[in-house]
Structure 1
Amino acid sequence: MIGLDGVSAQALSDTIGAIYDCALDPQLWPDTCLKIADLCESTGGGICVHDLRHARNDQLFVFGYQPQFLETLGSQYAQSPMAAADIVASVGDVNILSTDRPALLESRFYQEVLAPFGLTDMIWFPALRTGGRMASMHASRKDKAPHYQQFEIGLFKLLSPHVCRALTISDALDIRTLRSEMLEKTLDVLAAGVFLTDRGGRVVYMNETAARQAKIGTSIRILNNRLDPVDSAARAALSVAIAQATSHDDEGATNPRSLAIPAVSGAGYIATLLPVQRGQRRDIVAPFAASVAIFMQDPIEAPMMPGEAFARLHKLTGAELRVLMALAQGLGAKDAADMLGISEPTIRSHLQHMFSKTNTLRQADLLRLLQSSTPAVRAPQAL
């Protein structure tokens, strides 16, 4: 392969190879975007997804930008020169903002979006159109860096067909966006707190319950973006458990592990670790770059199984279920009898029938069975 002036053939070959590696593993895109940006001496870059139906602008695999810039760009993208150019552009067509530099400097987009964050120019090309969304790859320069010239345009033109093919092969944006949205909705209704961490124990995602547990902070906290049990022994045990769960040398690493995460004043959570970096598990959580899923459950607050389902499971009668639910509220036999308008001997008779049907011997065992039949989901609650 013949390189462009200033870029070796080996560097171009390595970059194109990295692009096609992304077709098989979308999580390689951040490093590949950085590699492309380095070739054209850019300070920022990444992939942008434009939802044409909902006027949304999402940044994926981006680097070198302040969060405020990304928010500003997203809110004003529809009115930007980039959006206008992409309407008529074909997939793979390369554009730069400074094609008409005087007009750019006078534009509201430059003055309100680029200039406040020191950005001087952007180069990009539409890389994929699928359904109501379009994706583009971009790079940018800031501060006093010169505007993009023919060299950078030529480099992007050389690389754009490979990027477009790689994205089409894997449809990486659909995998990331759709799986992330579906996974988030699923995890957010779980009764247990779910923390997804990388190999180093850094939290890359947590559901609503987990965020609430960390905010309360009596058993588990987030410190330097890592899970930090309040109890020192639990902190050390969790660190070891994460390391073991992500170890390729550990034959038992595919199995879940459980450990106690005590609270300052007693009780606390039971943490169960499940490796997610293997096989289909890895594909499902790849959007979060997670290696371990940690389920944090408070056994005291575990919601009870819906009575109707429990009754059908154990073939309880309606009368027996009413007695069971009354006792589950903490009522004694006499109070339950008074509430239901029946006698204490009838309560005891129903209990004997339920013991037989559930293979339990005592009221405590029966209530424990009901309590342990815990549903995985809960109604969403605001933080």
Structure 2
Amino acid sequence: MIGLDGVSANALSDTIGAIYDCALDPHQWSDTCRKIAVLCESTGGGICVHDMRHVQNDQLFVFGYQPEFLDKLGSHYAESPMAAADIVAKIGHVSALSMEELELAESRFHKEVLKPFGLLDIVWFPALRTGGRMASMHASRSDEAPHYQHREISLFKLLSPHVCRALTISDALDIRALRSEILEKTLDVLVAGVFLTARDGRVVYMNAAAERQVRTGNSIRIVNNRIFPADPAARAALSKSIDEASRDDIDKDMSEHSMAIPGVDGAGYVATLLPIDRGERRGIVAPLAASVALFMQDPVQSPLMPGEAFARLYKLTGGELRVLLALAQGLSGKEAADMLGISEPTVRTHLQHIFCKTDTPRQSDLLRLLQNSTPAIRGPQRPALVPDPS
């Protein structure tokens, strides 16, 4: 194969097969990015999402980089040779920083971003454009290796159309991977423990509060990757409820089901089960392969739901409150719409109603009013104010 000496047909076939597997399961991109990097004899790589409307860059499935470098790259991306090249490049067009036309050697980007972190060269291609967001796949070499040569660039050119097709098939970055990250960040600020389970009862996700509840161990533990209440009766009831909530023949409009989870010391939690493997909920939690959501709440310590007093004060509807709390987590209007399973115009309509009810002229004023009126949420972070989109 011309220009690909040393790359076996089996290695290429396995890598291309892995790329198309990612179309159905975007979380496989992490391993696939590593496969591609190994073929190209690279020390780092991954997928970068560039949000051109909000001048934001998110690194997904990356490896081989210092966190400080990723921060530096994000803050300087707009002035990098990569940003300028991607504006005019076609989807799948492969470039390397060492290419003569990019004039990297004496650039400020090379001196201030790459060189301090020991990076010599980056090869990449734009892989997906959707709305105001663009995604690119990249691999990199440290300064202990030579610049990318014809062999590695040819290999990237061979793989790029397959990567572009796989991302287009599932629109993985917009619909699954990014939503998964947004979902996890949102769940981690909740006071209630959130457990997401698969159809067979295996726990596929726990938020920060749930992890703390398990570490305490008074009421629940994780045994064989399943929730294991200390109380035998609660254990049997929970197992039965998860099984029933996961069944295909369950009433699609089944509401949540609550039950007691006593602890060994007399305390315990109130658990609420919600089937999520159906309808719009299915799309939201698809990246986590979850069938049932279990909310574990301490009835003594849990404060008023964040924003509830605020909603009562200004007579907000449930829909308006959900939109407000989503925006308070730093989500854009589109991200809030995706998370809540509603349209972006509906988000804007709710927001206009909230402006009228709270007598606030702009989103920043509204979120500042909410922050000043709502008790702090216990957890690793607090709701952040976001700049006005205007």
Q: What band does the TM-score fall into relative to the shorter chain?
A: 0.5 to 0.7
Please show how residues 290-301 of structure 1 align to structure 2 within 5 Å: 293-300=293-300, 301=302
The whole-number CA distance in structure 2 between the counterparts of 1:242 and 1:119 is: 47
Residue of 242, 246, 249 corresponding to 1:254: 246
Aligned to 2:134: 134
Does structure 1 retain, via aligned residues, the 8 Å contact 2:221–2:227?
Answer: no
The whole-number CA distance in structure 1 between the counterparts of 2:136 and 2:37 is: 14
Does structure 1 retain, via aligned residues, the 8 Å contact 2:114–2:120?
Answer: yes
The whole-number CA distance in structure 2 between the counterparts of 1:66 and 1:263 is: 44
Aligned to 1:125: 125
Please give the secondary structure, in 2, of the residue aligned with 1:228.
Answer: helix
How big is the shift at 1:57?
A: 0.6
Please show how residues 93-112 of structure 1 align to structure 2 within 5 Å: 93-100=93-100, 103-112=103-112
Aligned to 1:192: 192
Please give the secondary structure, in 1, of the residue aligned with 2:227.
Answer: helix
The whole-number CA distance in structure 1 between the counterparts of 2:43 and 2:25 is: 24
Please show how residues 11-90 of structure 1 align to structure 2 within 5 Å: 11-90=11-90
The whole-number CA distance in structure 2 between the counterparts of 1:140 and 1:57 is: 17
Q: Count residues in correspondence.
A: 293
The whole-number CA distance in structure 1 between the counterparts of 2:243 and 2:105 is: 61
Q: Which amino acid aligns with 1:229?
A: T
The yes-or-no answer on 1:235 pairing with 2:221 is yes
Please show how residues 313-352 of structure 1 align to structure 2 within 5 Å: none
Query: Per the alignment, do residues 189 and 37 of structure 1 end up closer, same or farther by CA in structure 2, a change over 3 Å counting?
Result: closer
The whole-number CA distance in structure 2 between the counterparts of 1:277 and 1:140 is: 39
Please show how residues 105-184 of structure 1 align to structure 2 within 5 Å: 105-176=105-176, 179-180=179-180, 183=183
CA deviation map 1:319-373 (0-9, x unaligned): xxxxxxxxxxxxxxxxxxxxxxxxxxxxxxxxxxxxxxxxxxxxxxxxxxxxxxx
Aligned to 2:358: none
Does structure 2 retain, via aligned residues, the 8 Å contact 1:49–1:134?
Answer: yes
The whole-number CA distance in structure 1 between the counterparts of 2:142 and 2:228 is: 40
Query: Per the alignment, do residues 132 and 87 of structure 1 end up closer, same or farther by CA in structure 2, a change over 3 Å counting?
Result: same
The whole-number CA distance in structure 1 between the counterparts of 2:147 and 2:228 is: 47
Query: Per the alignment, do residues 22 and 238 of structure 1 end up closer, same or farther by CA in structure 2, a change over 3 Å counting?
Result: closer
Q: Which amino acid aligns with 1:142?
A: S
Q: Which amino acid aligns with 1:108?
A: R
Aligned to 1:345: none
How big is the shift at 1:18?
A: 1.6
How big is the shift at 1:95?
A: 0.5
Does structure 2 retain, via aligned residues, the 8 Å contact 1:95–1:124?
Answer: yes
The whole-number CA distance in structure 1 between the counterparts of 2:116 and 2:244 is: 53
Query: Per the alignment, do residues 236 and 13 of structure 1 end up closer, same or farther by CA in structure 2, a change over 3 Å counting?
Result: closer
Please give the secondary structure, in 1, of the residue aligned with 2:246.
Answer: coil
Please give the secondary structure, in 2, of the residue aligned with 1:19.
Answer: helix
The whole-number CA distance in structure 1 between the counterparts of 2:56 and 2:40 is: 28
Q: Which amino acid aligns with 2:64?
A: G
Aligned to 2:232: none
Does structure 1 retain, via aligned residues, the 8 Å contact 2:246–2:292?
Answer: no
Q: Which amino acid aligns with 1:234?
A: I
Does structure 1 retain, via aligned residues, the 8 Å contact 2:202–2:226?
Answer: no
Please give the secondary structure, in 2, of the residue aligned with 1:126.
Answer: strand
Query: Per the alignment, do residues 40 and 230 of structure 1 end up closer, same or farther by CA in structure 2, a change over 3 Å counting?
Result: same
CA deviation map 1:263-305 (0-9, x unaligned): 97x5243456779789986653244576874422122347599
Query: Per the alignment, do residues 194 and 111 of structure 1 end up closer, same or farther by CA in structure 2, a change over 3 Å counting?
Result: same
Query: Per the alignment, do residues 177 and 7 of structure 1 end up closer, same or farther by CA in structure 2, a change over 3 Å counting?
Result: closer
Query: Per the alignment, do residues 236 and 8 of structure 1 end up closer, same or farther by CA in structure 2, a change over 3 Å counting?
Result: closer
Please give the secondary structure, in 2, of the residue aligned with 1:148.
Answer: coil
The whole-number CA distance in structure 2 between the counterparts of 1:302 and 1:27 is: 35
Please give the secondary structure, in 2, of the residue aligned with 1:98.
Answer: coil
Please give the secondary structure, in 1, of the residue aligned with 2:47.
Answer: strand
CA deviation map 1:80-133 (0-9, x unaligned): 111011112111110111124995343221222222222211100011111111
Query: Per the alignment, do residues 178 and 26 of structure 1 end up closer, same or farther by CA in structure 2, a change over 3 Å counting?
Result: closer
Query: Per the alignment, do residues 124 and 269 of structure 1 end up closer, same or farther by CA in structure 2, a change over 3 Å counting?
Result: same
Query: Per the alignment, do residues 189 and 118 of structure 1 end up closer, same or farther by CA in structure 2, a change over 3 Å counting?
Result: closer
Q: Which amino acid aligns with 1:11?
A: A
Query: Per the alignment, do residues 66 and 242 of structure 1 end up closer, same or farther by CA in structure 2, a change over 3 Å counting?
Result: farther
Please show how residues 209-248 of structure 1 align to structure 2 within 5 Å: 210=209, 220=213, 227-231=214-218, 234-235=220-221, 240-241=226-227
Q: Which amino acid aligns with 2:216?
A: P
Root-mean-square deviation (Å): 4.3
Aligned to 1:362: none
Please give the secondary structure, in 2, of the residue aligned with 1:115.
Answer: helix
Does structure 2 retain, via aligned residues, the 8 Å contact 1:258–1:271?
Answer: yes
Query: TM-score, normalised on structure 1?
Result: 0.62
Identical aligned residues as a percent: 66
Does structure 1 retain, via aligned residues, the 8 Å contact 2:44–2:140?
Answer: yes
The whole-number CA distance in structure 2 between the counterparts of 1:277 and 1:62 is: 29
Does structure 1 retain, via aligned residues, the 8 Å contact 2:204–2:288?
Answer: no
Q: Which runs of 5+ in 1 are unaligned?
A: 221-226, 310-378
